[in-house]
Structure 1
Amino acid sequence: MIKLKGTIDGISFYKTSDGHLAHEKGGVDKKRIQNDPAFQRTRENGSEFGRAGKGGKVLRNAIRVFLQNAKDRRVVSRLTKILVAITKTDIVNERGSRTLQERNSNLLEAFEFNLNGKLGATLFAPFTKAFDRVTEEATLDLAAFSTTVRIAALAEKTHFKVVMRALELDFENETSTFENDETTIRPYTAADTAAIALSATITANSTLPVIQVLGVEFYQEVNGEMYSLKNGTYNALSVTIIDKP
């Protein structure tokens, strides 16, 4: 493979996460797509894809503090794909105008933000989760458990913590409200860790969809300082609750 960047004789060369690629310049004129009746379906699909993309940004921004430590290279495209599918469950608005708000957001349940460190392959301790729509309190509880038995991680780890965040998402106005709770950074040892009880409260009696995410982050202690393990590559973060009004 010749590692080129730029355009030669109408062929564009570029580098992606999958390696060096090339494609021939071409396609339909933008103005034609915007105005030609033959491209009505294209315009409708583009409108809904754009709306799903904005919804994904709202969600990602709401968990950015956790997502920085637990994501894979394709999380944006994977999330957008599911949000497009959610948009298509809208049976009220016509095609091209369908929205995310209050639709079948259950499709997001168990979504993994980091395929390199899935929650189901990282945390083996059973947990209970709940959300109260009246008080708008999200809770998550784990009984005491042996860390070395119930949490899988790389050999380099010395410590871990469990994190949880509740998100109230307003896709229409592209805003969110969120609150989180997390454990202290705890040693990764065979002895049972103390029981974990996390809770987060947002707007009471909300009329918006609410999502709870749960994650596990790993650390390595060096000279008394805690360092996120391998820049968070193997940290886990997953959707555990979807609640619609």
Structure 2
Amino acid sequence: MAKQKGIIPLVGTIGGINFYYLNGKPVARVAGGGFNGTAIKTKASMRRVRENGSEFGHCSRVNKAYRMALRPFYTQHKFTFFHSRLMTLFTNLKKLDTDSVRGARQVFKGLETDAGKRLLLDFTYTPDCKPELVLPFNYSMDWPTYTLNIPEFNIAHVPFITGATHIALQFGILDFNFETLDSALHLAAPLVLAKDFSGTSLGFTPVTAPTGLGLQLAVMGVRYYQEVDGVLYVLNAKEGVGISVFSIKN
């Protein structure tokens, strides 16, 4: 693969060379060289390719279902490379499945391990807006009541992005079955705070309780708003929307 140089980048196939864009940059490579579909399905030498393809498809299905389950936290917003970064997470979780043969390893098996739960808990969903940095406080999760408490809150320690006058905090419990891909999201009432908020503690409890579909995740979402003439407008800057898993029920 080579980079294109010139005033007008090309797109298409010319003289056996494919011209296209990769991550916004014009590149070129020799056309062809792909695997033959029949060979992939039948040849013994293609067994590893078939195994990788099967597991990739599985991780893709988990990825789509999981992103859709989290969608209420980032409605009308697009994250750069969100899909690809989640694919890395689910691929690594799948690798922790030591019970299944290669080609049949599954994400949910990886999440049955302590290492898998740690990977899920430590994953950075939104690098440009990390809720744990936006809310740099100690918190406690009371799983019997599904309540997240921030007992020592101070709005002065919350960073506000340019133009923001308010921040909205959305807490919820995502009940997600990584085997069947069934899910339910149980949300608390959103809390919208102005820069001059004077409260010293926060508490969030979902309106409905999970029924035990699968793994239960305590998720916090943050979004910034700007008030104009008494109306709040969401700021969709890349650093204006954040998601994080704060806790996982054991």
TM-score (norm 1): 0.86
Could you tell me whether the CA contact under 8 Å between 2:40 and 2:50 is conserved in 1? yes
- Which of 62, 72, 82 is the aligned partner of 1:65? 72
Letter in 2 for 1:152: P
Q: CA RMSD in A?
A: 2.3
The aligned counterpart of 2:199 is 193
Tell me which protein shows more strand as a share of its residues.
1
Compare 40-49 and 100-109 and name the one that shifted more.
Answer: 100-109
- Give the aligned partner of residue 61 of structure 2: 54
Counterpart for residue 177 of structure 2: 170
Shift of 1:99: 1.4
Write the distance in 2 (CA, Å) between the matches of 1:198 and 1:43: 46
Residue 90 of structure 1 aligns with which residue? 97
**2:1 is the alignment partner of 1:12:** no
Superposed displacement of residue 159, structure 1: 0.3
How far residue 223 of structure 1 moved from its aligned partner, in angstroms, is 1.6
Could you say if the C-alpha distance between residues 219 and 48 of structure 1 is closer, same or farther in structure 2, counting changes exceeding 3 Å?
same
Q: Distance in 1 between matches of 2:225 and 2:44?
A: 56
Which one of 1, 9, 32 corresponds to residue 3 of structure 1? 9
Q: Give the 3 Å change call, closer, same or farther, for CA 113–243 of structure 1 in structure 2.
A: same
Q: Structure 1 residues 10 and 52 mapped into 2: Cα distance closer, same or farther (>3 Å)?
A: same
Q: Which has the higher contact order (CA 8 A, sep 6+)?
A: 1
Equivalent residue for 1:108?
Answer: 120
> How many residue pairs get matched?
237
Note the alpha carbon deviations across 1:151-188, whole angstroms, 9 max, x for none: 11213110011111211222333321111114332211
* TM-superposed deviation, 1:37: 0.7
Distance verdict in 2 for CA 1:35–1:111, change over 3 Å: same
Q: Please tell me whether the aligned partners of residues 167 and 178 of structure 1 are also in contact (alpha carbons under 8 angstroms).
A: yes
SS in structure 1 of the partner of residue 38 of structure 2: helix
CA contact (8 A) 1:161 1:217 kept: yes
> 1:102: how far off?
4.5
Distance 1:174 1:182, change over 3 A: same
Give a deviation string over 1:123-176, Cα, whole Å, max 9, x none.
2122212334xxxx532111252212x211213110011111211222333321
Cα distance between partner residues in 1 of 2:62 and 2:238: 24
Counterpart AA for 2:133: A
TM-score by length of 2: 0.84
Could you tell me which runs of 5 or more consecutive residues in structure 1 were left unpaired when the two chains were aligned.
none
Q: Quick one: which amino acid aligns to residue 163 of structure 2?
A: E
Instruction: Tell me the alpha carbon deviations over residues 96-126 of structure 1, each in whole angstroms, 9 at most, x when there is no partner.
Output: 1111225334111132221111223322122
Using the alignment, how far apart are the partners of 1:197 and 1:55 within structure 2?
31
Moved more, 167-176 or 150-159: 167-176
Query: C-alpha separation between the residues in 2 aligned to 1:20 and 1:180?
Result: 44
Relative to structure 1, is the Cα distance of residues 84 and 202 closer, same or farther in structure 2, using a 3 angstrom cutoff?
Answer: farther
Q: Kindly, what percent of the aligned residue pairs are identical?
A: 27
How far residue 54 of structure 1 moved from its aligned partner, in angstroms, is 0.9
* SS of structure 2 residue aligned to 1:109: helix
Q: Paired residue for 1:145, among 132, 141, 153?
A: 153
Q: Distance in 1 between matches of 2:126 and 2:108?
A: 25
Q: Which runs of 5+ in 2 are unaligned?
A: none
Tell me if structure 2 keeps the 8 A contact 1:72–1:233: no
**Among candidates 2, 24, 29, match of residue 23 of structure 1:** 29
Q: Give the CA deviation at 1:227.
A: 1.1
1:71 CA displacement: 5.7
Tell me the distance in 2 between the aligned counterparts of 1:203 and 1:236.
23
